[in-house]
A = this chain, B = another copy of it.
Amino acid sequence: MAASTLTEVARLAGVSPATASRVLNGSARKPGKDIADRVRQAAESLGYVPNAQAQGLAKSSSGLIGLIVHDIADPYFAAIARGVQEAAREQRKMVLLATTGGGPAEEREAVAAFAARRADSIVIAGSRSCREEDHDGNTALAAELDRYCRNGGQVAVVGHPVVGATAPEGYHVLRVPNRELADRLATELAGSWDGDFVIVGGPEGLLTSDDRVNGFQEGLARAGRRPAEVLRSAFNRSGGYEAGLELAARIKAGRSAEGAADPKLCIFAVNDVMAIGAAAALRSEGLRIPRDAAIAGFDDIETLRDFRPALSTVRLPLEDIGRLATRATGRGPAAGDAAEDAAPAGIAGEVTLRRSTETAA
């Protein structure tokens, strides 16, 4: 990795490295026009590319933003990543990507790696977990973040604070109103749906999933409905598919037992990808939506909008979320003091009822 150095440029231009530095990079002092041109020309002819590592070392800041996601191929994270990218570009920084699969241990590793690279800030997307088995991992992650922040790093986490993080300075939490929105979704569905509700959730302890489950139950309760049964499975398409198979079996059983006019089921899957999986399962069992069962998701993933029947869901401004989280870490140590800045501009979702929960046959 040998490239021409600032010193070489300076020599060619017949000036000191300091001067060359001043003209080639932003400095308060502005060198004379004549000399500046000579330097620029020398740089050009040598194909000089500043060494960001050296710059970083010298001014101890790297121009890097670390982004931690479960899986970059998941459209949910991909959308957030796009927002982060944009915000990074605004700040003239680059984004470093880490994919963890969701485990706190891997997240800790990622944070350490970012810290080692002296990333200016870290954005953590992806649900927190409070499962017992993740306890130690969370503690370690919290410690790592803590240290990173104490060393001047900025971190923003989407959704929930990292379990056990003792928010020093520079720790921002971008709250996402999952609970409230799920509540509202339940409310609206309860208004137009007479049958029972079932929730297809992720593993217990996944905070995002839990919020959506709980919110939904609350909405149901307020509407005077009885609580929905909760089926747990993986927080992805195949989890939804499995749950869907189970439900399909029940629906078919119930139907043959009672005849035709049985109470229809409305399935709430805690994210769109699971909802699609569940829908696929029902379909594979010969059931139709919304004829035999209604289904709703959460997130309003862009790629899934052309799905038929159109999926009722809750629209989340994923890109904005990424952007806002990133910005929260950008504005120097100004805006948010310590913990839990409530949604700055206010993350607002929107219940979006579509064909998949239409009650009309």
> B85 near A78 (CB under 8 angstroms)?
no
In the bound complex, residues from chain B placing their C-beta under 8 Å from that of A47 are 147
Shortest CB–CB separation between residue A245 and chain B, in angstroms?
14
> A53 near B276 (CB under 8 angstroms)?
no
Cα distance A28–B1 when bound, in Å? 22
Question: Which single member of B78, B89, B306, B319 contacts A78 (CB below 8 Å)?
Answer: B78
> A3 near B57 (CB under 8 angstroms)?
no
Cα distance A150–B144 when bound, in Å? 39
CB of A115 within 8 Å of the partner chain: yes
Which stretch (A91-99, A183-191, A197-205, A209-217) binds chain B? Answer: A91-99
In the bound complex, residues from chain B placing their C-beta under 8 Å from that of A307 are 306-308
Total copies of this chain within the assembly:
2
Interface centre among A60, A73, A279 (most CB of B within 10 A): A73
Shortest CB–CB separation between residue A58 and chain B, in angstroms?
9
CB of A116 within 8 Å of the partner chain: yes
Q: In the complex where A151-B1, A302-B73 touch, is A49 in contact with B94 (Cβ < 8 A)?
A: no
Cα distance A221–B115 when bound, in Å? 58
Cα distance A277–B97 when bound, in Å? 30
In the bound complex, residues from chain B placing their C-beta under 8 Å from that of A327 are none
CB of A312 within 8 Å of the partner chain: no
In the bound complex, residues from chain B placing their C-beta under 8 Å from that of A303 are 75, 273, 301, 303-304
In the bound complex, residues from chain B placing their C-beta under 8 Å from that of A2 are 60, 151-152
12 contacts between A and B (CB under 8 A): A1-B120, A1-B152, A49-B112, A49-B115, A64-B96, A73-B319, A74-B78, A75-B75, A85-B99, A94-B96, A96-B96, A273-B303
Q: 16 new A-B pairs (CB below 8 Å) besides A73-B81, A283-B308?
A: A1-B118, A2-B151, A3-B115, A3-B151, A49-B112, A53-B62, A67-B97, A72-B82, A73-B75, A73-B302, A75-B75, A85-B97, A94-B117, A95-B96, A97-B97, A303-B304
